[in-house]
Amino acid sequence: MTTYSKTTALMARGRDFLGSDFAILCGAMSWVSERNLVSAISNAGGFGVIACGAMTPELLDAEIAATKAMTDKPFGVNLITMHPQLTDLIGVCGRHRVSHVVLAGGIPPKGSVEAIKEFGAKVIVFAPTLALARKLLRQRDGGGGDALVIEGMEAGGHIGPVSTSVLAQEMLPELAEDHLVFVAGGIGRGQAIAGYLEMGAVGVQLGTRFACATESIAHPAFKAAFFRANARDAVASVQVDPRLPVIPVRALKNKGTEEFTAKQREVAARLDEEGIAMAEAQLQIEHYWAGALRRAVIDGDIENGSLMAGQSVGMVKTEEPVAEIIAQLMAESETALSRR
């Protein structure tokens, strides 16, 4: 195996934390980050992450078991904090002795981090601001995360308001010495990985770059849409009602992006007419995305489905095996570091 000595040295803390050869996480993409892609990434030396999304505990149980049958390498599970069965999903992870749990979608509910740590797993959290990052990492041995992902607005799926480069400049100098920080959002080349590692990151997370891998079960039409797209085609959704604080989603523009605007208006109207709780309203939005994603990823409906993609989509031009993608990223990073 090629050693990529300079890159792996800068990734040392991230590699030790993940238990993988390379500190390259795969972002959790609903319907895409399942047993086939996750196991392939872990087997190739990266760190695969199952996207639980809207799965029931029974479905997650089957997905973890199937993934374990395909790899003996470490992998993680991404759980959405607003999932109504979060406690049960954590229990499923515990029964399978999942080594790492990623909590995404908001501030973890009280007791959730402790419940994960109780069965020995490491907790990875997301934070869009320095203040929230410090809060989530403060009690590392109790209710705080063990590692942090900072994800910029260039990413696909749910995004924050600040670019990756600005987040990295703001947060890495403040956090990287004492904490494990992974950088995500818009990363498509190894040269960018080298830059963030030199700034103090212990690793990176990529989603879009892996979405069209050979091992990805995404429909051929879904992959073809990625191959045709450029960065400007990956647009962020618009919030139509200030009472419904919907997290923006970045996806390739199509009829589905227009339908999401209509869905927001529909849910906002239900807030008025039926008095449903805000949590229920937001959950309806999540269920909409789960269905729209399935239409695109599984059924190949690229007009009405959701083609979640980051702005790095323009760098995805062909279907490649996961091992080749990771090798290329590492080689590009190593070349960049060798030129310093």
Assess whether 103 and 250 both reside in one domain.
no
- Quick check: 302 and 254 in contact, CB under 8 A? yes
Assess whether 207 and 123 both reside in one domain.
yes
Rounded CA-CA distance 194/23 in Å is 12
Rounded CA-CA distance 338/158 in Å is 35
Maximum alpha-carbon separation in the chain: 62
**DSSP assignments along 160-199, one per residue:** -SS-HHHHHHHHHHHHTTTS-EEEESS--SHHHHHHHHHT
Q: Which two tokens stand for residue 325?
A: 């993608």
E strands within 88-165?
100-104, 122-126, 147-151, 157-158
Assess whether 253 and 206 both reside in one domain.
no
Q: How many CB atoms lie within 10 A of CB 169?
A: 11
pLDDT at 140: 53
**What pTM was computed for the model?**
0.94
Assess whether 92 and 227 both reside in one domain.
no
CA distances from 109 to 82, 160, 164, 246 (A): 8, 20, 26, 19
Q: Which two tokens stand for residue 201?
A: 């990151």
Residue corresponding to tokens 């879009």: 208
Rounded CA-CA distance 145/150 in Å is 13
Assess whether 260 and 122 both reside in one domain.
no
Overall domain count for the chain: 2
pLDDT at 245: 67
Rounded CA-CA distance 233/228 in Å is 10
Assess whether 305 and 333 both reside in one domain.
no
Assess whether 159 and 126 both reside in one domain.
yes
Residue type, 270: R
Rounded CA-CA distance 246/244 in Å is 6
Nearest to 170 by CA among 125, 207, 133, 206: 133
Rounded CA-CA distance 58/88 in Å is 10
Assess whether 143 and 255 both reside in one domain.
no
Residue spans of the chain under pLDDT 70: 1, 139-142, 245-246
pLDDT at 101: 98
Assess whether 201 and 230 both reside in one domain.
no
pLDDT at 106: 85
**DSSP assignments along 47-74, one per residue:** B-EEE-TT--HHHHHHHHHHHHHH-SS-
Q: How many CB atoms lie within 10 A of CB 8?
A: 20
pLDDT at 148: 97
Assess whether 69 and 34 both reside in one domain.
yes
Residue corresponding to tokens 């990756």: 164
What digits encode the pLDDT tens for the residues 162-190? 999 999 999 999 999 999 999 999 999 99
Domain with 28 in it:
5-217+315-338
Which CATH number does the domain housing residue 143 bear?
3.20.20.70
Assess whether 141 and 263 both reside in one domain.
no
| pLDDT above 90 coverage of the chain, percent | 78
Nearest to 251 by CA among 304, 329, 210: 304
Assess whether 296 and 181 both reside in one domain.
no
What digits encode the pLDDT tens for the residues 66-108? 999 999 999 999 999 989 899 999 999 999 999 999 999 888 9
> In sequence order, which residues have a C-beta less than 8 Å from that of residue 116 and are 6 or more positions away?
90, 93, 94, 101, 103, 123
